[in-house]
Amino acid sequence: MSKISKRIESESVKQDAKKNKNELPILVVANKVKELSKNFMEIEEKEVESRTGDNDLKIFKETCSDVKRLMTDILQLKVSGKTDEETKKKIMDKRIEASLLFVTLKKLNRIDKLRLKKARDTTHDAKQRVDSFHLQLENLLYEVFHLKKEVDKCLEFKSKDEDIELVPVEEFYHEAPPSISKTELTKSNQHKLTLARLEWEFEQRKRLSEQCRNLEQNREKASNEITQKQKQLESLLPRLNSILESTRPLQEELNLPVERIKFQKELAVLLPDPLYILYSQIKAFIEACDPSLQISIEGGMEDALNFGSKNKTGLDEILEDVDSAESDMEAEYETNKRSVTSNKMKTDWQLTKHPLRIQLTVERVVINFAYLITLNIVVVDCKPLQRENGIDQICIIDNLLSEIFPNDHGDESPSWVNCFQARSMVNGKIYEQGKPYLWAQRLAGLDFNGVVKSTPQTFINTEFVETVVVALKNRINYRFQFVKVLHLLEKGELDLNQDSNAAFPATIYSRLVSWSPSSYEDCLVTSKNLERLLNFLEINPKALMFFKATIERESARLLAIFLVPVDYPNSAPICSLELLWNGKHTRENSEIIRGMEAEVNVSINELPPQHKIDLLIVQLKKLTLHLDLITEIDGQLMKRGGGSWQSQTKPEFSAEKMIPQLIKGHDRKFPTKYDAGSGFFLHQ
Amino acid sequence: MPNIKSFYVSVLSQSLSPCEQFLVAGTNFGNVNVFNIKTLYQEDVNQGPRDLLTLPQKCFSVSERSLQAMASSNDNLMVGGKNCIQGFSWNDVVAPKQSDLEVKPCWTVDLRLPTDFGSKETVDCLINGENFSAYAACGDNNVHHVDLEYGKVKLTFSGHTDFIHSMSQIGNQLSSASEDGTVCIWDTRKPKPVHVITPHSEPKLNRPHLGKWIGAVTMNEDWLVCGGGPHLGLYHLRSLTMSKVLLEDDTHGVNNVLFHEDSIIVGVDGPFVYHCLFSGDITVKMPTSALRVYSICLQKKDANKLLFVGGSGGDIDICAGTKLQDQVIRCLS
């Protein structure tokens, strides 16, 4: 643009130059133009500065009006139509004058342009300046903001010392030495004060940590001492044990329970739950109520310790065995063989006893409680404590624990569960281990989820332990008394105490010649009557002891089978008779024998409690008396034609007894009652 | 376990209520067992357990001694007690059991028997007489004709030397069989026997090993049958001659005998009841539950004509049509 303008300028200058200096050679002119234009431009620039726009506008307006006037003049001249020279000339002059005016216009235009340009430049400069100022301003603002932030940060800064709990100021001044507190300095300056307090805190902490270390060391020392002493004590134990070991013979000799009690306690921990319950219950009862009983745990401690693991492996083996047997189904023979063995193993395994058992000593009988792990029942067996000379051991033990509670024979497992565990085999073999009486299960806390086959009413009693123990004691006491009675009977003695003897005449001729224990089967073979009696009474033969007695008077032999209940003398014995004298007479074919049996079995005299055990003797004595009576009455009836068993002419026995009436009633009964006062034999 | 006592029960006497629907049985323990025969034979109507029907509907004690004698009159059950005859109202006896209500006699007739160690105070046999009277054979070996209305003994028949097992009466004639081996025939108006029969003196009848005692006697207008230790003999009443030995082959003593229609029913001292004809032919030999028969009772009016046989043992056999054992009821004490 500037080039263009320059060219224009140069042209204009050229024109000017042409106008002004037409005659100058071109080169010089060109140079001169160049120079001139250059100068001119500088001049013009200066001119622009010097001149004002208003003036130029005025000039422009004057010029324009001049031009206009000239134009108008020319027009008027031309319109006048004067073609004379003068006019022509006048027009020409006027024309020139106007053209010259154009130069002025041009100049004005140029100056205007320059002025515009100049104004523009100044505006631009100013604008740039403003921009830079603005930028500067923004920078400064940013800096201010940043600084403010920094200030905030600084203000928000937290020092660690704020977390430290310091002693209160008063205390600090009171305790800290002046070297640290520096009272005059710190009183006024909070910062200094804080620093001083921190320093004091630090001092104190150093001191305390020192103290702590000291104490720690003391503790260490003490614990070392303790371990040392412990070691000493530990080394003492084997020595004490060995001492204890060596005192054992002495303990045994002096019957001291010291070690035994300790050992028992250790064993008690190893007991299976049911036995433990049983043990603890009875033990507690003994301590509380009845020190005459003794209870102990028998069995090896090591066995018991080992038992748990061993038992488990045993089970596994069997399971494995069964599994393998099942997998071998194809080889049938093999399987059969195996299953048989596994069955056998199963039963043996089912009857596994826990190695520990509880031994309860009641009076002179030892009762053992053992626990069959798999069947989950407690079995009981018993034996006398020591042999007693001349007394049949079997009589003491046989049936001793049967029917302590009604219907509790211990014949089969009380748990229904066991019914399904190879019943036949199990039930058969349980006896080898003992009998699973219901009361024992109850004592051991086994209720089989309430599915006990039969629950005797007594089991509902809350003081069950006492009930059982009392029942056991009674049973055992009576059994020992009974055994003594049996012993006498075996000798054929029918001795009674004074009171009981008074109910009998002084002389009885019949004698008990034999008394022997027997068995159910044996008695059944001997006497058919017995079966009928047993059927009628619905007694389980297992709740009875069977004895055979023979009573004789000369040729008359009375055979009696005695059924003694296990709970004798609480239940009365029952006899079944057979008289061998001029034929065989029994209940079936003779009302006399039936009457005799009824007299012995039914009318049981109430004996005083201390002589209760003599009931059997009383019954036997009655039999001897009745045999006397029968034989004599029979003789008397023979004489009187009343019908007799004897076929010979003279009665075998003479009438010695005082009998006012031999026979009475449509059933032709013999007298049975002995009136001790008058010595008469009377009908009931 | 049942009481052992019930194993040794003997049924010694029986009696039927006037309606013949109830049977009472007296036992050796002195108890009266009352059975309801009607419900027993109405089994379809009664849905209750049958076992219960065979047991007494009630049982009450009359005396401590065995209950040997019982008889039934129109309103009363007469029971021979200790030195007395007691009368119980049949209404009380057959009433259903009420625990609090004890059966008590409505009257008692004192017999004023001698007390000799208690052995003579018993009533051994009791039969109904006319006009509210009864014949009671007692422990003093005499038969007493007791007027029950006034409670007095009208007449005493004495002649036996031992206790009396059995009596039979027809019109003015009374016969009694005794342990002493005789059968006395009395005129009810005279205290001494009119005739005395001694069967054991008949060689055909005598069984010395069983004894001479006569356990049973019965008679009708023409005939008298008696037996005991000796064989059962059929006597012609007018001539008092033994015309026939009955049951010659039986080895047991005779405890009961009674006429029924054309035949003679005999209970023996063994487990049998016989029915035989006058000719001596045995028509029925029926085994019984009782080991020995002591008491036979017969329904006279009822269409069933039931025969009740009791004895040694608590079981009473009931025979329908008088011949076949049909049911068994049981006394427990």
pLDDT of residue A530: 83
- In angstroms, the CA B19 to CA B301 distance is 9
Least confident of A253-262, A366-375, B219-228, B316-325: A253-262
Predicted ipTM beyond 0.90: yes
Contact: A642, B179; criterion CB under 8 Å: yes
Q: What is the SS3 assignment for A518?
A: strand
* B179 touches A: beta carbon within 8 Å: yes
Of B66, B117, B213, the CB nearest to A682: B117
Of A647, A661, A667, the CB nearest to B312: A667
pLDDT of residue A231: 93
**Highest-scoring range by mean pLDDT, A54-58, A212-216, A332-336, B80-84:** A212-216
pLDDT tens, residue by residue, A610-642: 788 888 888 898 899 999 999 999 988 888 888
Mutate to test the interface with B, among A666, A669, A682 (most CBs of B within 10 A): A666
Compute the average pLDDT of residues A506-534. Answer: 85
Is A235 exposed, middle or buried (CB count within 10 Å of its CB: 0-12, 13-18, 19+)?
exposed
- In angstroms, the CA B238 to CA B247 distance is 23
Q: Give me A415's structure tokens.
A: 């748990």
- In angstroms, the CA A123 to CA B175 distance is 183
Residues of B in contact with A539 (CB under 8 A): 1
> Quick one: pLDDT band at residue B226, thresholds 50, 70, 90?
very high
Average pLDDT, chain A: 79
With 60 as the cut, is the pLDDT of residue B261 above it? yes
Nearest chain B Cα to A637, which residue?
B211
Contact: B163, A664; criterion CB under 8 Å: yes
Least confident of A446-450, B89-93, B199-203, B282-286: A446-450
pLDDT of residue A70: 85
What proportion of chain B, given as a percentage, has pLDDT over 70?
Answer: 96
With 50 as the cut, is the pLDDT of residue A332 above it? no
Neighbours of A419 (CB within 10 A): 13
Contact: B8, A536; criterion CB under 8 Å: no
- In angstroms, the CA A566 to CA A437 distance is 15
Contact: A660, B179; criterion CB under 8 Å: no
What proportion of chain A, given as a percentage, has pLDDT over 90?
Answer: 14
Residues 116-155 in B contacting A (C-alpha not used; CB under 8 Å): 116-119, 122, 124-125, 139
> Quick one: pLDDT band at residue A496, thresholds 50, 70, 90?
confident
> Quick one: pLDDT band at residue B214, thresholds 50, 70, 90?
very high
pLDDT of residue A454: 45
pLDDT of residue B225: 94
- In angstroms, the CA B67 to CA B78 distance is 11
What proportion of chain B, given as a percentage, has pLDDT over 90?
Answer: 56
CB pairs under 8 A between A and B: 111
pLDDT of residue B100: 60
Domain coordinates of chain A in residue numbers? 2-142, 159-256, 259-476, 491-682
What is the Cα Rg of chain A in Å? 73
Tell me if B205 sits within 8 A of B245, measured CB to CB: yes
Give me the sheet containing B193-197, strands edge to edge.
B164-170, B173-178, B183-187, B193-197
Instruction: Pick the closest to residue A543 from A645, A435, A633 (CA basis).
Output: A435
With 70 as the cut, is the pLDDT of residue B275 above it? yes
Contact: B68, A682; criterion CB under 8 Å: no
Q: Give me A230's structure tokens.
A: 């412990």
Compute the average pLDDT of residues A570-582. Answer: 89
Residues of B in contact with A675 (CB under 8 A): 117
Mutate to test the interface with A, among B3, B5, B7 (most CBs of A within 10 A): B7
pLDDT of residue A395: 59
Residues of B in contact with A683 (CB under 8 A): 65, 118-119
pLDDT of residue A566: 83
pLDDT tens, residue by residue, A59-111: 888 888 988 888 888 888 888 877 777 788 888 888 888 888 888 888 888 88
Average pLDDT, chain B: 88
With 80 as the cut, is the pLDDT of residue A213 above it? yes
Contact: B312, A594; criterion CB under 8 Å: yes
Mutate to test the interface with B, among A582, A667, A681 (most CBs of B within 10 A): A667
Residues of B in contact with A633 (CB under 8 A): none
The 8 Å CB, 24+ separation contacts for A588-594 are: A588/A529, A588/B291, A589/B270, A589/B291, A591/A667, A591/A668, A591/A669, A591/B10, A591/B269, A591/B291, A591/B292, A591/B312, A592/A630, A592/A669, A592/A670, A594/B8, A594/B291, A594/B312
With 70 as the cut, is the pLDDT of residue A8 above it? no
pLDDT of residue A310: 54
Using alpha carbons only, what angle is made at residue A304 by residues A303 and A308, rounded to the nearest 5 degrees?
A: 105
H runs (alpha helix) in A157-189: 169-175, 178-181, 183-188
Integer angstrom CA distances of residue B235 from B58, B101, B198:
41, 49, 11
Find the chain A residues whose C-beta atoms sit closer than 8 A to any C-beta of B: 533, 536-539, 572, 574, 587-589, 591, 594, 597-598, 601-602, 637, 641-645, 647, 660-661, 663-669, 675, 678, 680, 682-684
CA distance A595 to chain B (A): 8
Residues of B in contact with A642 (CB under 8 A): 179, 211-213, 229
* B41 touches A: beta carbon within 8 Å: no
pLDDT of residue A315: 47
Residues 243-262 in B contacting A (C-alpha not used; CB under 8 Å): 253, 255
* B231 touches A: beta carbon within 8 Å: no
Compute the average pLDDT of residues A339-360. Answer: 66
Of B117, B165, B209, the CB nearest to A644: B209
Residues 201-230 in B contacting A (C-alpha not used; CB under 8 Å): 208-213, 215, 229
CA distance B58 to chain A (A): 22
**Highest-scoring range by mean pLDDT, A318-332, A406-420, B78-92:** B78-92
Compute the average pLDDT of residues A454-465. Answer: 52
CA distance A624 to chain B (A): 20
Contact: B7, A537; criterion CB under 8 Å: yes
pLDDT tens, residue by residue, A135-184: 999 999 999 999 999 999 998 887 777 777 777 888 878 877 877 777 77
Least confident of A236-250, A365-379, A454-468: A454-468
pLDDT of residue A291: 82
pLDDT of residue A388: 56
pLDDT of residue A461: 47
Residues 66-105 in B contacting A (C-alpha not used; CB under 8 Å): 66, 68
Is A39 exposed, middle or buried (CB count within 10 Å of its CB: 0-12, 13-18, 19+)?
exposed
**Residue whose pair of structure tokens reads 């193993």 in the numeric block:** A345
Contact: B12, A665; criterion CB under 8 Å: yes
pLDDT of residue A131: 96
**Residue whose pair of structure tokens reads 């085994």 in the numeric block:** B287
pLDDT tens, residue by residue, B88-140: 999 888 888 776 667 889 999 998 888 777 778 889 999 998 888 999 999 89
Residues of A in contact with B294 (CB under 8 A): 666-667
Nearest chain B Cα to A574, which residue?
B4
pLDDT of residue A418: 67
Of A660, A666, A668, the CB nearest to B119: A660
Residues 20-39 in B contacting A (C-alpha not used; CB under 8 Å): 28
Give me the sheet containing B143-147, strands edge to edge.
B123-129, B133-138, B143-147, B152-157
> Quick one: pLDDT band at residue B265, thresholds 50, 70, 90?
very high
With 80 as the cut, is the pLDDT of residue A261 above it? no
pLDDT of residue A217: 96
pLDDT tens, residue by residue, A465-481: 888 888 888 888 888 88
> Quick one: pLDDT band at residue A17, thresholds 50, 70, 90?
very low
pLDDT of residue B176: 95
Nearest chain A Cα to B230, which residue?
A643
With 60 as the cut, is the pLDDT of residue B196 above it? yes
Tell me if A485 sits within 8 A of A611, measured CB to CB: no
What proportion of chain A, given as a percentage, has pLDDT over 70?
Answer: 81
- In angstroms, the CA B19 to CA B22 distance is 7
Instruction: Pick the closest to residue B277 from B262, B255, B261, B256 (CA basis).
Output: B262
Nearest chain A Cα to B30, which residue?
A684
Mutate to test the interface with A, among B312, B315, B330, B332 (most CBs of A within 10 A): B312
pLDDT tens, residue by residue, B286-306: 999 999 999 999 988 887 888
pLDDT tens, residue by residue, B2-12: 788 888 999 99
- In angstroms, the CA B203 to CA B185 distance is 21
> Quick one: pLDDT band at residue A392, thresholds 50, 70, 90?
low
> Quick one: pLDDT band at residue A453, thresholds 50, 70, 90?
very low
pLDDT of residue A40: 75
Least confident of A199-203, A420-424, B181-185, B200-204: A420-424
